[in-house]
Structure 1
Amino acid sequence: MASIDIQGVRKTYGVVPVLHNVDLSIHDGEFVVLVGPSGCGKSTLLRMIAGLEGITSGTIRIGGQVVNELAPKDRDIAMVFQSYALYPHMTVRDNMNYSLRLRGTPADRMVSVISAAAHKLGLDTLLDRKPRTLSGGQRQRVAMGRSIVRQPKAFLFDEPLSNLDARLREQMRVEIKKLHRDLGTTSIYVTHDQVEAMTLADRIVAINGGVIQQVGTPLDLYERPANLFVAGFIGSPAINILDGVLRRDGEHTAIEFGSGERVSVVSRIPGQDNQIVKVGIRPEDVRITDQKEGALTGQVELVEPMGLGTIVHIGTNHGTLKVFVLERRDHGVGARVSYTLPAAKIHIFDAATGERLSE
């Protein structure tokens, strides 16, 4: 196991910048997820750590050692790709012990290591089968097993579950999390799926346009997004974003929407009177209420039953709101409903910069 330190790393292809002065420290034994939209630079950063891409400038250290000029094989890391990259003519056992044989590992040691890894991954009964006879989830477990037996300093996962269906992705997320708990190996996981990021990570690194937007625990990013990008990318169903204006009247601060409706907010937030802002509120934080006093009103436009709860789309004077409710209540399309936006749950961002204003 080892820490990974990335300092001032840049990557350009010709004159096209891909990563801009990335600084990131990953602790020994930590599970860090790099998340962001396609093309944001997250896979490029992972490949630079692995040595599969050169860096334009900056420094990468693994276990305190500068690895900028080290070949991938000398970095003592293991990588699991989106494609399983298994040898089709080899059995599961031979795929898993291939790297051990190249290292000249004694036969008895290989047997014990393969047996332990296969047991952890539920592959005990599949060791003599060929990859073509396995399901997608089983093949991905073999690919992980091939990495585990090397006992590397770090695991690098490059969107390993993208080729699996929704149910298999759910199962594999659980297996990967259990595996990390058992092994405690430093792990970096790349995905564009924010659900994977939220469920797997000790810390999430949100990247957009080659720039780190925020680093923190899953709840840090969910409850206190640093900017509009993080607020909109993290969370399912996605956060509601409304246009508003900050109004200050002495000690009182409110958000005024285009309709003239106002919602009181915490008075100590920064910002000036008449400042144009973006207001974010999570669908589960909007409250549908039977009380009329102090509530806003809208009309139900769409109802999405989700099993666990229901997403109700409400057309309002300041845009469409998504509301996630747990109770199985019939909100008929076209019905008028009252709702509130609790001040403590509102996120306020500067409309010009997208940066967070609220505490």
Structure 2
Amino acid sequence: MASIDIRNIKKTYGKVPVLHGVDLDIKDGEFIVLVGPSGCGKSTLLRMIAGLEEVTDGEIRIAGIRVNERAPKDRDIAMVFQSYALYPHMSVADNMSYSLRLKKTPRERIASAVASAASKLGLDPLMERRPKALSGGQRQRVAMGRAIVRQPKAFLFDEPLSNLDARLREQMRAEIKKLHADLKATSIYVTHDQIEAMTLADRIVAMHGGVVQQVGTPLELYDRPANLFVAGFIGSPGMNFLDARYETAPSGIGIRLRDGTLISIAQPMPLATDAAVTLGIRPEHVVMTRDGSGMNATVELIEPTGFGIILHLSLHGLPFKIFTLDRDALKAGPSVNVAFPAQYLHVFDGEGNRVS
């Protein structure tokens, strides 16, 4: 396996910029997930690493070797596509062994590699079938097996689970994670699904508008998002946001909400007095008070999910959500009172960057 170093990578189509200078160090054996909304540049970056898109500016190194000018076949990487890209006239065994046969690999080596990959992926009973006789999940396992037999320096996954239903996606996520733990392969995985990103990644690269917004472990992005985009994109249900102002006074410091509520904070922030801020809090951290304290919010919708309950509220005229395991929430009246524990607050400045 190998490390992958990306230095100031830019991509333009004509005069339209798509990537605005991406820097990323991927360690040998690391599982990196590129996540973001459609059009953020994550798939373009993956295709540039694979050699399927030309680099406009910058440098890509795989195992310390510059690969900008190398053809895809000379980069020693394997790619798993959303569309599976299997040969319909070939059996599972022939699909998995095709790349090795092209390289005129000895038969014994091919048989051993295919058998090992098939065993890891549970494909042994399916080796003589053709793709049309397989389910979507089985086809994706074959596509993964075809990549594994090559023993490449890195695996690239381009939204491989998008065509599967919810239950199969859950199953395949677990299989991919187990496979990575077994192979310890350098892997880059592209998805727009933040649940996939959170469950699979060693580190997440959150992208938006062709710019890397934050790089970190899943819990780093969840607990301390760098800006409003990351805070809103990571987490389900998404983080709540409220307009507020930073206030200092002899009696203390805090965040003043639109309705006049002052939320006290322990430490001063690097902000001017009366600076506009955005206050964020995750739905699972909101507390419903029963003693009449807190802010009053109108209940607009209640969604039982089985595991928990989502309350859709209107607070200060803005959409607001609570996630709770308390089933008494199903009996919530037309309004509830809510409070925000200070330890769970996120504060963002006027530019949308994290302050606290």
After TM superposition, is the score higher than 0.5? yes
- Counterpart of 1:355 (choices 337, 353, 356) is 353
CA distance, structure 1, for counterparts of residue 38 and residue 311 of structure 2: 29
**CA distance in 2: counterparts of 1:102 and 1:92, whole angstroms:** 16
TM-superposed deviation, 1:270: 1.8
Instruction: Please tell me whether residue 56 in structure 1 is matched to residue 74 in structure 2.
Output: no
Q: Which residue of 2 aligns with 1:170?
A: 170
CA contact 1:242–1:318 (8 Å) conserved in 2: no
Farther-moved stretch of structure 1 (149-158 vs 333-342): 333-342
Taking the aligned partners of 1:94 and 1:320, their CA distance within structure 2 comes to 54
- Taking the aligned partners of 1:13 and 1:108, their CA distance within structure 2 comes to 46
Alpha-carbon distance between aligned partners in 1 of 2:38 and 2:301, rounded to the nearest angstrom: 30
CA distance in 2: counterparts of 1:143 and 1:24, whole angstroms? 27
Shift of 1:245: 1.1
Cα RMSD of the aligned pairs, angstroms, is: 1.2
The answer to whether the 8 A contact 2:5-2:26 is kept is yes
Deviates more, 1:256-265 or 1:237-246: 256-265
- Number of residue equivalences: 356
Are 1:228 and 1:356, in contact at CA under 8 Å, matched by a contact in 2? Answer: yes
The one-letter code sitting in structure 2 at the alignment partner of 1:236 is S
2:87 aligned with 1:87 = yes
Cα offset for 1:292? Answer: 2.8
Name the residue aligned to 1:346.
Answer: 345
Per-residue deviation, 1:220:
0.5
Letter in 1 for 2:103: R
Post-superposition offset of 1:296: 2.1
The answer on whether the counterparts of 1:300 and 1:332 sit within 8 Å (CA) in structure 2 is no
Residue by residue, what CA displacement relative to the aligned partner does 1:119-177 show, whole Å, maximum 9, x if unpaired? 10010100000000000000000000000000000000000011111111111100000
Work out whether residues 4 and 64 of structure 1, in 8 Å CA contact, stay in contact via their aligned partners in 2.
yes
Question: Which string of whole-angstrom CA distances, capped at 9 and with x for unpartnered residues, describes residues 50-78 of structure 1?
Answer: 00001011110000000011110000000
Task: Decide whether the 8 Å contact of 2:86 with 2:95 is kept in 1.
Answer: yes
Percent identity over paired residues = 64
User: Helix, strand or coil for the counterpart of 1:105?
Assistant: coil
Which whole-Å deviations, capped at 9, do the CAs of 1:179-209 have from their partners, x for residues lacking one? 0000000000000110100000000000111
TM-score by length of 1: 0.97
**Mapped partners of 1:346, 1:318: distance in 2:** 20
SS of 2:327's equivalent in the other structure is coil
- CA separation in 2, counterparts of 1:77 and 1:68? 14
Q: In the aligned structure 1, how far is the partner of 2:295 from the partner of 2:133?
A: 58
Distance 2:237 2:317 in 1: 19
Secondary structure of the 2:328 match is: coil
Return closer, same or farther for 1:233/1:330 CA change in 2, 3 Å cut-off: closer
Distance 1:184 1:118 in 2: 17
Q: Which residue of 2 aligns with 1:329?
A: 328
- What is the CA-CA distance between 1:249 and the residue it aligns to? 1.1
Aligned-pair distance for 1:251? 6.7
Q: Distance in 1 between matches of 2:318 and 2:209?
A: 28
Counterpart residue number, 1:142? 142
Normalised TM-score (structure 2): 0.97
